[in-house]
A and B are shown apart, each in its own frame.
Chain A
Amino acid sequence: MASLSATSLSFKAPSIQSTRISQVLRKPSSFQSISFGGFQSSKSLRLQISCAAKPETVQKVSDIVKEQLALSADTALTAESKFSALGADSLDTVEIVMALEEKFNISVEESDAQNITTIQEAADLIEDLVQKKPAA
């Protein structure tokens, strides 16, 4: 786990397994169309270029955020909405991360949790952790 966070900041050759490198590639919106489902079966594929997390995950994250921040049911929540824009302070953000930990049965490290500011990032991190977890 330590090596993963270390490589997240350096741009080494793509052969090293680093899902954070995909963050740089994420910016062009043309990548959105690549479906994430195609990469799920091959666990040997190290570099994941696809950036869009599954829509169900994004939906579940949005539900938790709405419940935590007590937003009305018809508030439009896009994947790019920032937590701070929705009226969450830093304690709320930590609470949302804890709620996601409980819901998806994952364990988020503190270094990962610092970078979460939008719903999309949260969903992506969840997808990463759910994949990395050994299948029970």
Chain B
Amino acid sequence: MAAPFTLRKIGVPPNSANLTEARRRVFDFFRAACRSIPTIMDIYNLQDVVAPSQLRFAISSQIRNNAHVTDPKVIDLLLFKGMEELTDIVDHAKQRHHIIGQYVVGEGLVQNTGSKDQGKSDFLKNFYTSNYF
């Protein structure tokens, strides 16, 4: 049995210098999240509800949602938020229905679906910003 994986809480590291380092951090985060999956399934009793591969897919689809970002600082911030979420889940600060609703069932909470502003028509974008266009 491989040694059980523990999520170590490190302080905020300095910003990534370039896209390559940001990319490396994304993969490190993804690996940490995947290795925490057995712990998560144990804490929230998800054994009958979902398979680890589905959770892995949920995590990777969230990462893919933001795959178009190119600014390393934005990537760092997204990773920070992702790490915060992962830490909350592993610390049992969330509850079972949160995990099931957000990561197991379909697209999760309505507010989080899809990336922002993609596919919206120009009419709607103008409509939301002002009355006159």
Chain A residues near B (Cβ < 8 Å): 67-68, 90-92, 94-95, 98-99, 101-102, 105-107, 110, 133, 136
- Closest residue to A92 on the B side, CB-wise? B60
Report if A90-B34 is in contact (Cβ < 8 Å); known contacts: A67-B53, A105-B1, A107-B3. Answer: no
B63 touches A110 (CB 8 A): no
Question: How far is A92 from B57 in the complex, measured between Cα atoms in Å?
Answer: 10
Interface positions of B (Cβ within 8 A of A): 1-3, 23, 26-28, 30-31, 34-35, 37, 52-53, 56-57, 60, 63-64, 67
Select which of B2, B34, B63, B64 is within 8 A of A105 by beta carbon.
Answer: B2
Q: A91-B63, A94-B27, A107-B3 are in contact. List 7 more A-B contacts (CB 8 A).
A: A67-B53, A90-B27, A94-B30, A95-B56, A101-B34, A102-B34, A105-B2
B61: nearest residue on chain A (CB-CB)?
A91
Shortest CB-to-CB span from A105 to chain B, Å, is 6
A-B contact pairs, 27 of them (CB 8 A): A67-B53, A90-B23, A90-B27, A91-B26, A91-B30, A91-B67, A92-B60, A94-B27, A95-B34, A95-B56, A95-B60, A98-B30, A98-B31, A98-B56, A99-B53, A101-B34, A101-B35, A102-B34, A102-B37, A102-B52, A105-B1, A106-B2, A107-B2, A107-B3, A110-B31, A133-B2, A136-B1
